[in-house]
Each structure stands twice: as structure tokens, then as C-alpha cells.
Amino acid sequence: MPDPEPFDPIAEAHRQWSVRWPEHADHMAAVTSVMRVQQLLLARIEATLQPFGLTFAAYEALRLLAFTRSGSMPMGKMGERLMVHPASVTNAIRRLEQRGLVERHVSAQDRRVVLATITDGGRAVARDATAALNQANFGIPALARDEMAQLTSMLRDVRVAVGDIADVPVGSSLFTGRTVRGSPRPQTGWAGP
Amino acid sequence: MPDPEPFDPIAEAHRQWSVRWPEHADHMAAVTSVMRVQQLLLARIEATLQPFGLTFAAYEALRLLAFTRSGSMPMGKMGERLMVHPASVTNAIRRLEQRGLVERHVSAQDRRVVLATITDGGRAVARDATAALNQANFGIPALARDEMAQLTSMLRDVRVAVGDIADVPVGSSLFTGRTVRGSPRPQTGWAGP
């Protein structure tokens, strides 16, 4: 790792904004910080996953299937759960299929639905890659759990503000896993169909 | 904007992790939240910039040049300030040059250095695009300034933890613009050479 920079371009941009548009400087700095940290964390995560031949997107798809009880999920539902475009799911699953980690087949219940199913080999890779990511604390080993929980909570406020998720109390969903207040828990999810 | 989801896939992933690897659940959720929020904010920012024909990367390059006193900066230094790969700067500047917003020329002082210089047209686009982004509060209009400052501070802890920047007090750089303690302020930056 190169020596850290004593100079922080985001702090400097905040200073420039504060001179010209002070009421917008804090929003600019927060958004630019999200962009920067995403870039740093993604690079670290993908370095951790590289020995397993997985991108982060492919890892998330594999992990999602490994969490299901049956090992299967409709491709369309995977896109919803992974919060990505259906084409991204298709690409990730195709690459996993080529390596024998996932199989695709048409649902016996509904011929319009394509299911992805994790193989035993896929479960082994998901298990080992998860162990590696956990070992690396997802790229941020030096930070405490409560700081991370606070960061998640603040980013959750952003997600609520932009309409990504409904505004339900954090305590009822993220930290206890209880049913979300006022809306029934969907029957599927990372827990699977 | 579609109705927000009552179900939060990140909260569900946190629940799954808490059952299996409780000591890593908070890090997983924080990192996944950064990825998700980056994706949401980038989409909103690029929608705001679309009428100006700018990606966020192109906007940042133009804004950086507009902040310099001379309107010029060596391309290599732009990569450092924008925290991106030199090839990304080259691509962004080439597209801006094709639109007449930036000019490139070899430095008269050092023939090995290529300078990018913003044109009057580029300054006008930078001004209008910045006004639009400020008006949209960089994609997160509903959140208060102090929440944003706190988010920046937490993300700064992550940047320090992964070695992106040195650990200097936030108060001395981000919020007051004073010289960073223990290390002289570089002579150039967003403020220009």
C-alpha cells in the first residue's frame, strides 16, 4: 500500500465550495466521499475475491443462492434482491455456469421462469470466498463494529431519502430481523423461496 | 420514482450474516450499503448532468480546471486530484476537448508535461452544471447539512483506515480549510498551480 496522502482532495473541494456555495458544501463532500470510498472498498474486495475468480457481483449472486433453502431462485427475483439490472444477473450467472458453480433450468411450475441453482462446487466456493471476505472484514479491518453499524444507519437515511427503501425503524429490520412494521415480510428474500 | 421497497435486501443480508457470522455482519452491511448508495447517487447525479452532456467524471475534471487560477493543470496532476487513473483523465479530457470545453497543449516550461486548459465555453458549462448539482444538493435533497458532515466524517475514517489519506484531525482540514497539522499544505490542489 502506498503511503497515505497528507493532502485530501475532498477536504480541498469542500474548502472551495465553502467559499463559493457554502450551503451546498456538506452535500458535495458527502456525495464525493461515497464515490471515493466505494471505489476504495470495491478494489479491496475484488482483490480478496480474485483468488476465487469472482467479481463482487458474481460473489453476491452465488452468496444469495447459497442462502436459499432449495439452492434455487428465479433469475428475475435475483435481480430484485441484488438490486441490479436483470442483464447484470444474466451475465454473472452465465459466467458462474461456465465454471460449473451454478446451473440454469426452466421452472417445472412455470415454464416462463428460469431458475438458477447453485451446485455443490458453487457452495464450496461461496463458503471459502465468504470466509476470506469475513477475514478481511470486507475491506475495512481497522474499524469497529459500532462505527460500521452507524455508517450503515446513515447510509440507510440516504436510501430512504432517495426512495430506495421505505422509512421503517432501523431497529425493527436491520438489527433484530423482526418483521418490518406495517408491512408483512415478503415470503422470499435472501432466505430463499 | 417507483414506490420505495418495504423490504430491504441489505437488512435481510445482515440478518443472514448475524445468524452465521455475527462478528462480521456489521462490516458486511456497511460495505454493501456504500456500494448501494454509490449506485443510487451516481444515477441521480448523472441524470442531473445529462442535459449538459457530462458524466460525473467529466464534470469533476471541468470543475477542477475551473477552480484553478490559471485555468490550466498538468494532466498527471489532475489524476492525483481527482483520485482516478491517468487513462480516465485522458478519456474525459479528450471528450471535453471535442466539445470545445477544454484545450490541450504541451507546457512551455516542461515539454514532457501536457496541460489541460478550460475554455470560456467550458467555464460556462462548469458554472451551469454546478448550479444544477447544487440545486439538487448532489442527489440527496432531503437530508440536513449536519447529517452530511457526519457522513463525510465517518467515510473519512474509512479512508484513513484503508490508507487513502493520512489521519489528520477533520476540524483542521475539512471544515475550516486551515493548514493540515504537522504537514505543510501542498502548493497546488483544486486551488490550482
With a cut of 50, say whether residue A186 has pLDDT above it: no
Q: Burial-class residue B22 by CB neighbours within 10 Å (0-12, 13-18, 19+).
A: exposed
Task: Assess whether pLDDT exceeds 60 at residue A128.
Answer: yes
Amino acid at A80: E
Mean pLDDT of A132-147: 90
Max CA pair span of chain B: 64
**Minimal-distance CA residue of chain B relative to A164:** B4
Alpha-carbon distance of B20 to B153, in angstroms, equals 31
How many pairs of residues across A and B have Cβ atoms under 8 Å apart? 286
E strand segments, B18-153: 72-74, 102-106, 114-118
Q: Coil, strand, or helix at residue A42?
A: helix
Contact B34 A29 (CB under 8 A): no
Residue A183: the pLDDT is 37
Mean pLDDT of chain A: 85
Residue B2 is predicted with a pLDDT of 58
pLDDT 10s digits, B29-60:
999 999 999 999 999 999 999 999 999 999 99
pLDDT > 90: what percent of chain B? 68
**Confidence band, pLDDT 50/70/90 cuts, at residue A2:** low
Distance CA A114, CA A89 (A): 12
Nearest to A31 among B24, B140, B165 (CB): B140
Mean pLDDT of B121-131: 97
By CA distance, what is B13's nearest residue in A? Answer: A190
Residues of B in contact with A78 (CB under 8 A): none
Which pLDDT score is estimated for B169? 55
Enter the pTM of the model: 0.83
Residues 84 through 123 of chain A touching chain B, CB cutoff 8 Å: none
Residue of A11, A21, A155 with shortest CB distance to B174: A11
Which residues of B62-125 form beta strands (DSSP E)? Answer: 72-74, 102-106, 114-118
pLDDT band of residue B168 (cuts 50, 70, 90) is low
**B119, B101 Cβ separation under 8 angstroms:** yes
Is residue A148's pLDDT more than 50?
A: yes
Q: Which residues of B touch A5 (CB under 8 A)?
A: 164-166
Give whole-number Cα distances, B145 to A23, A31, B121, in Å.
Answer: 8, 12, 32
Of A21, A31, A173, the CB nearest to B8: A173
pLDDT-above-90 percentage for chain A? 68
Closest CA of chain A from B173, distance in Å: 6
Q: Classify B4 as helix, strand or coil.
A: coil
* Cβ-based neighbour number of residue B120 at 10 Å: 9
Q: At what angle do helices B75-82 and B56-67 cross, to 10 degrees?
A: 110
**pLDDT value for A189:** 38
Picking from A2-11, A45-54, A182-191, B111-120, which range would have the lowest pLDDT averaged per residue? A182-191
Q: Identify the CA nearest to B190 among candidates A28, A171, A99, A47.
A: A28
Q: Which residues of chain A lie closer than 8 angstroms to B35, CB-CB? A: 38, 41-42, 56
- Give the burial class of A51: count Cβ atoms within 10 A of its Cβ; 0-12 exposed, 13-18 middle, 19 or more buried: exposed
Contacts of A165 in chain B (CB under 8 A): 4-8
Do strands A102-106 and A114-118 pair parallel, antiparallel, or not at all (unpaired)?
Answer: antiparallel
In angstroms, rounded to a whole number, what is the distance separating the alpha carbons of residues B92 and B64? 12
Q: What are the b/e assignments for B8-19, b being 16+ CB within 10 Å?
A: bbbbbbbbbbbe
Is A5 part of the contact surface with chain B (CB cutoff 8 Å)? yes
Give CA–CA dist B147/B112, Å, rounded: 45
Residue B23 is placed in which grid cell? 462478528
Mean per-residue pLDDT for A101-124? Answer: 95
Query: Please, what sign has the CA dihedral across residues B31, B33, B36, B38?
Result: negative
Question: How far is it, in rounded angstroms, from Cα A177 to Cα A182?
Answer: 15
How much is the pLDDT for B40? 93
pLDDT tens digits, A43-85: 999 999 999 999 999 999 999 999 999 999 999 999 988 888 8
Beta-ladder partners of A115? A74, A105
Residue A51 CA: distances (Å) to CA of A42, A124, B118: 15, 14, 43
Contact of A41 with chain B, judged by CB distance below 8 Å, is answered with yes
Is A190 close to B45, i.e. CB distance below 8 A? no
Q: Of A137-151, B13-27, B67-81, B177-191, which range is least confident?
A: B177-191
Q: Which residues of A touch B185 (CB under 8 A)?
A: 7
Which residue would you say has higher pLDDT here, B175 or B94?
B94
